[in-house]
Amino acid sequence: KPGEQKHPKEPSSLQCMHLAVVACGDRLEETLIMLKSAVLFSNRRLCFHIFAEDSLKPEFEKKLKEWPSSYTKKFESNLYPITFSVGNAQEWKKLFKPCAAQRLFLPVILKDVDSLLYVDTDVLFLRPIDDIWHLLREFNSTQLAAMAPEHEIPKIGWYSRFARHPYYGTTGVNSGVMLMNLTRIRSTQFKNSLIPGGLTWEEMLYPLYQKYKNYITWGDQDLLNIIFYFNPECLYVFPCQWNYRPDHCMYGSNCRGAEEEGVSILHGNRGVYHDDKQPTFKALYEVIRDFPFEDNLFQSLYYPLQSKFLDTVHTLCGRIPQVFLKQIEKTMKKVYENRVIVYLGANHRY
């Protein structure tokens, strides 16, 4: 209003929940659907940090601008080239999947960002990012990153059966959803198997890769497991509903947190959004992809999802639809209630 005193704005780095993703090859659409799921449900403003091959950049800029203004005002996006600050860039590029190793360099590149949520391109948010962002407050004084276990059951877990290198805990951790306090990562001296003293994050990456490169299968995720094996006090482990993968239901349901609370973050690894091996995962991806932004969430997202799920009941994951729907339903009710309250409040003034 005229004459009203304006309060100084909080720096955008504090206002924002920072979300980073690395996109190469054919991952453009998948990344956009992930970002869409983030924007659909989040409450606070988002800052996207998109690391992409040069060929994908113009398309990212174009597609994000096409979203309606009611959504584009909820985020700002920054695009970065793929860069590796230490070691051989070509070697890093070839590690596991193209560009995946980029995530290891986020603390070094994003020097002005305090905390960050990194996710793989094949992730979907089924509730506000605000809720996982709040877990940063639960870190104790030594914790600087958070990930979920790679598996719930050691006897069928990959690391516990096949790993030829050190890994965190009894089943290792999965790096597809990783919450990080970058300030702490930058200022910590990490214990390691290279020298008796500590090394900074940046000093440690390339020598560690050189030492273990013949033993690692999952690239950067294996390196993170090695780092936290030597520094277990630095890791906060969050439950499986924050990184829910086909492994949690394809051998029978083994993520208790998801059974109780519903899936919070869906991780469709192994390409399950694009083939017919896990129709439940594919259904969620397609419904979020096809949701017209300005439509009613219940009508154009929740109901189509329910009907698609009816076709998946013959699969192990499809037998537990409530696990996939519980958080979405809760989130949509909140969004709906907030809009109704705002609407009623606006009318009440007249």
* Cβ atoms of 144 and 188 closer than 8 Å: yes
What letters, b where the CB count within 10 A reaches 16 and e where it falls short, cover 209-222? beebeeebebbbbb
C-alpha–C-alpha distance, residues 332 and 127, integer Å: 9
Strand pairing of 17-23 and 46-52?
parallel
**Helices 279-290 & 321-348 angle (0-180, nearest 10):** 20
Q: Is the pTM of this model over 0.85?
A: yes
Give strand pairing partners of 267. 123
C-alpha distance across the termini of the chain, in Å: 18
* The token pair that represents 181 in the structure block: 């306090």
* Cβ atoms of 48 and 112 closer than 8 Å: no
Q: Report the number of secondary-structure helices (H) and strands (E) in the chain.
A: 16, 9
Residue 224's nearest CA partner among 300, 301, 146, 292 is 146
C-alpha–C-alpha distance, residues 149 and 247, integer Å: 11
CA dist 165 → 101, 222, 237 (Å): 18, 8, 20
* Cβ atoms of 132 and 41 closer than 8 Å: no
C-alpha–C-alpha distance, residues 131 and 128, integer Å: 6
- Looking at residue 336, its pLDDT comes to 78
- Which residue type, as a one-letter code, is found at position 325? L
Where does residue 99 fall: left (phi above 0), alpha (psi -120 to 50 degrees), or beta otherwise? left
Give strand pairing partners of 235. 145
Domains of the chain in start order, with CATH, are: 17-238 (3.90.550.10), 241-348 (no CATH)
10-residue stretch averages of pLDDT, the chain, 350 residues long: 38 75 94 97 96 95 96 96 82 70 93 97 97 97 97 80 83 95 98 93 92 84 94 97 96 94 96 95 97 90 94 94 94 80 56
- Looking at residue 347, its pLDDT comes to 53
Alpha carbon 234 to its chain centroid, in Å, reads 19
- Looking at residue 345, its pLDDT comes to 58
> H or E element: which one contains 9?
none
Give strand pairing partners of 38. none
Strand pairing of 173-181 and 115-119?
antiparallel
- Name every residue whose Cβ is closer than 8 Å to that of residue 287 and which is 6 or more positions away in sequence: 301, 304, 305, 308
